Amino acid sequence: MKLVKYFLQKKSVTILLLILIAAGGIFSYIKMGKLEDAPFTIKQALVVTPYPGASPMEVQTQVTDVLEEAIQSLGELYYLKTENRAGLSKITVYVKKETRAEEMQQLWDKLRRKVGDVQSKLPAGAGTSVVNDDFGDVLGVFYGITGQGATYRELETEAKRLKNEVLKVKDVAKVEIYGVQSPTINITLSPAVMARSGITTADIARAFEAQNKVVDAGGIDTDRNRVRIESTGNFYSLDDIRELTIVSRSGEHFRLADIAAIEEGYLTPASNKMRINGQEAVGVAISTVPTGNVVDMARLVKTQTEEFVKTMPEGYTLDALYDQGYESDVANQGFILNLIISVITVVAILLFFIGLKNGLLVGSGLIFSIFATLIVMMAGGIALQRMSLAAIIIAMGMLVDNAIVVSDSALVNMQRGMRKRVAILRACSSTALPLLAATVIAILTFLPIYYSPHITGELLSSLVIVIGVSLMFSWVFALTQTPFVIQEFVRRPRRDELKGELFNSKYFNKFREALHFVIRHRVVTIGLMVALLVVSAWSFKFIPKVFVPALDKQYFTIDMWLPEGTRIEETDRIATSIADYVQSHPEVEMISTYIGRTPPRYYLANVAFGPQPNYAQVLVKCKTSKESRKLNQELQNSIPKEFPEAFVKVNRFELSPLTEALIEARFLGPDAAVLDSLTNQAIEIMRKNPKVANARNEWGNQTMVIRPVYDPVKAGELGISKASMMESVKALSDGLPVGIYRDNEKKVPVLLKADGAAVINARSLGDYAVWNGDRSAPLSQVTSEIKTTWEFPQVRTYNRQLSMAAMCGVQPGSTMAEVHSEIRAEIEAMKLPDGYTFFWDSQYKDQKEGVEALATFFPLAFILLVVILVALFGNFREPIIILCILPLSLIGVAVGMLLTGFEFGFFPIAGWLGLMGMIIKNVIVLIDEINVQHRAGTDLYNSIIEATVSRTKPVLMAASTTVLGMIPLLFDIAFGGMAATIIFGLTFATLLTLFVTPALYALFYKVKRCK
């Protein structure tokens, strides 16, 4: 206790340290980073490879499989999922969850090298593989630009201007433009004209290359200088292209405009589109540097955009679609308000129990603990965000526990006649070790969460660190600052104020009588608790299970899929109709639509879909979060009825990434037809359950394919190669590249398009003329047949095996866990052919991994906990008493979840682990007091009674401060379940501490009542 004595004697040092801590805490709060939510690492990368002209199965076998073989040698690899579509391979690389964030960049470099090493093994015609390792980057400030009557080229120009301005802003890391359409120059002519003139696509390509190529013309030397000669004749406008002279193989010259229609256009089909309130738009997404403050960055960006808007042409609008800085500021302000309410509540409870002066003095330790924690948070790079602020609120009640115990013990010692400093030092020496052990144990109970390799562990890591740091500071200040303020500001009672018996009031005597009754009927009491525990465990089946809760935001999203094979223009039309329908509701403030693929990741937990032409996402912003919840619920029921042709999923924002479907029964095997059969069986089982919504096949519906079968004999006689045939067909549909038009820094492709308006089906395609420059012939004359067949538009694999899943959602009012439990047995009973396997994917797999990850370090935490308890008490009986109390806390947890209606998931589990630490702390101090009184000469029975009576006030104070301090979190959607767990669990645990602990102690030590 030399340290305590030092701080009591060296007043100036103590005061200086407290001033520095207060100033440091205020400075840290002002300067530290502020985020909306705790960051976590998305441990995925995308490897995208184009293979134009290949079918999905060809893409899978010739490109994807080659790349997967190289990637699978990564030691950190967890699993691979691939999506193969016509002309495109998309591999999602998932790395092991225990891989640390700081190791990710090195890992992606290894992935890039492995992908690069096998590029030579890819088939001719395959493009270069692109490794997208910034897949998880968050571009949290998202703007959209619209313009009345503006073209995409004009919108892009404004977006680029904005990008250049925003990149000047402090802490801006990256700016990404979304929704830009690739411009083209379209040259449309009929095959008949080409055949008649003898012009080939190669002739047009040569003409473009010859005239538009940048050539060094050298220069001439004068007496003193060298004058550069600049080549001219490049294309600077559409008119220049129209004047281009094409020379046929026969030597004839043609002006391009005389034989073709030339116009500007955009690449078709478009890869993605964007709309804001129905208008065509381009998005600008902005990210902050890792060490930056997103609130400050967003504020500076907003100032910059306000200036930029003044320079925009008339009719243009710049809308803030999502502002993470504003959202972070609102979230932080809400939590700061909750924090202030919690502090006031805790101090008010202290005032009620121990009076104004003592309450303020003890409560001051809470403030210093928070200030010291803020200093450590800033030093450790932990920002103020939802998790770290919630941690302070959760720890609020526990932060005063140590100070309450020390101050109560010191005050009691003074009431017994001790001198002030002796009373303080005696209180510190008798409580320091038990409080340290109890504090360390409280921190240890969070250890499994912190070391969990699952994403939820990373999500809650800041919560665990902040709770651990603040609890240790509370112990330090309880033995330094609390004794100091007692010495300086608490008056020692005069001799005439001393009480003969400290705990001899009417209420204490009634409590003694209750304790006598409980100890006398100890077996019945404990038996009743066991019975209640069994009933509580059974009641958990009635509590809805949701692993990670939704967030309370004014935003939500709507994902929409149309049947595979749908044109992106049709998807755009339906998505616009859905957006118009949603916008007709008065709750809606703004709506933006993204067709073809999801927008940049403006929110960390967003999931990416696309590119696929049948997909669209609608981002809805309501006026308030309350209206958002109401409209979300309404649309879940109404949209499927209004738009039956589309599969629509209405989502709320969550803390962890959403999945494509809540439930996925995944089958793996070598034959797609067998997988299709198994998947359809599982879908039928799903559809029989009335709680299931949108049961479907992951691969989607089959789509029509037209296959002209090239006949080398017939085509050879006509001198038409397979390449010529397919180039002619491509010119009919998407356009054949024949040159490049340099538009400043852009390379605009020049596409040759054939006039094939009459081609609408396989039969009319047969009449379409293909050419080789010298002659042309109908397609039917160079093919053996033109087949119409069906194929899956996508082929998916899982760890290099063909993979197909039966997917479904759940009806409103049901949960994934509930529906899964009802369909699980029948699907798992399906007989699988040899070589085929099955597992549950999606949320079930993720939740199972989360619980397993949580359990990984639970044994270690439990062993350390037991070691500390045994070392503290020097025997086994008292630690066993404490461990017997812990499961009984589930009784209060079950009651709380049933009464409040919150779902039970990862956050309530984390709350229960923290609750165990609180319970252990109270029981340790109580048992230690029993032992102290027994060693002082009191018989064991009366030691139990009097120790419990003497600990009643501190236990009730500690429990009340924690319970009432947590009430603000009870109204937070994300943390409400955790708050309910702690509030109701601790309330019941207080009864356990004051009644069941004495009963167990008497039972274990076979205590008989002394006469």
Per residue, what are the HEC states of 509-562? HHHHHHHHHHHHCHHHHHHHHHHHHHHHHHHHHHCCECCCCECCCCEEEEEEEC
Give CA–CA dist 1/430, Å, rounded: 10
Q: Which residues contact 410 (CB under 8 A, 6 or more apart)?
A: 423, 424, 426, 427, 428, 483, 486
| Stretches in the chain below the pLDDT threshold 70 | 1, 135-136, 191, 195, 212-217, 230-234, 291-292, 335, 397, 494-503, 744-745, 756-761, 772-775, 1009-1011
For residue 762, give the nearest of 779, 745, 776 by alpha carbon.
779
**Euclidean distance between CA atoms 488 and 258, whole angstroms:** 101
- Per the CB < 8 A criterion, the answer to whether 779 and 708 are in contact is yes
Nearest to 925 by CA among 1007, 1004, 1000, 993: 993
Peptide bond into 269 cis (omega under 30): yes
pLDDT at 621: 93
pLDDT, one tens digit per residue, over 590-624 is 999 999 998 988 887 777 887 889 999 999 999 98
CA distance 851 to 547: 10
Q: How far apart are the first and last CA of the chain?
A: 39
3-class DSSP state of 33: coil
Contacts of 586 (CB under 8 A, 6+ apart): none
Tell me if the bond preceding 611 is cis, omega within 30° of 0.
yes
Assess contact for 994 and 974: CB atoms under 8 A. no
pTM, entire model: 0.81
| DSSP three-state, residue 621 | strand
User: CA 625, 630, 633 angle in degrees (round to 5)?
Assistant: 125
Question: What is the per-residue pLDDT for 902?
Answer: 85
Whole-angstrom distance, CA of residue 94 vs CA of residue 60: 18
Angle at 319 (CA atoms; ends 318, 322), nearest 5 degrees: 140
Rg, the chain, Cα only: 36
CA count, 13 A, side-chain hemisphere, 310:
6
Instruction: Provide the 10 A C-beta neighbour count for residue 476.
Output: 18
Q: Which residues pair with 48 in a beta bridge?
A: 90, 130
As to burial, measured by CB atoms within 10 angstroms (0-12 exposed, 13-18 middle, 19+ buried), residue 801 is middle
Q: Are strands 172-178 and 279-288 parallel, antiparallel or unpaired?
A: antiparallel
Identify the pLDDT of residue 242: 84
pLDDT of residue 849: 82
The conformation of residue 20, written as its DSSP 8-state character, comes to H
Place of tokens 């940048």: 214
Q: How far apart are CA 881 and CA 999, in angstroms?
A: 10
Tens of pLDDT, residue by residue over 877-936, are 889 998 888 888 889 899 988 888 888 877 888 788 778 877 888 888 888 888 888 888
